[in-house]
Amino acid sequence: MHSISTHWVETMAADDKEFFVALGLRIAQLRKERGWTQQELADKLGIAQQTLAHYEVARIRLPASTLPQLATLFMTSVDELVGHAQQKQAGKRGPLPKWQQQIEAIAQLPKTQQRFVTQMLDTVLAQSGQ
Q: So what's the architecture of 4-95 in CATH? A: Orthogonal Bundle (1.10)
The one-digit pLDDT tens for each residue of the chain (130 residues) are 444 444 445 556 666 888 899 999 999 999 998 899 999 999 999 999 999 999 999 999 999 999 999 999 988 889 888 887 644 444 455 566 777 777 777 767 778 887 888 888 888 888 887 6
Burial 56-69 (b: 16+ CB within 10 A, else e): bebbbbbeeebbee
The answer to whether the CB of 114 falls within 8 A of the CB of 107 is yes
- Alpha-carbon dihedral sign for residues 5, 64, 54, 23: positive
In one-letter notation, the amino acid at residue 25 is: L
Closest CA to 106 of 96, 118, 120, 119: 118
- The pLDDT value given to residue 90: 45
Stated pTM of the model: 0.58
Q: Domain coordinates of the chain in residue numbers? A: 4-95, 97-130
- The pLDDT value given to residue 26: 92
Q: 17 Cβ partners below 8 Å, 6+ apart?
A: 9, 58
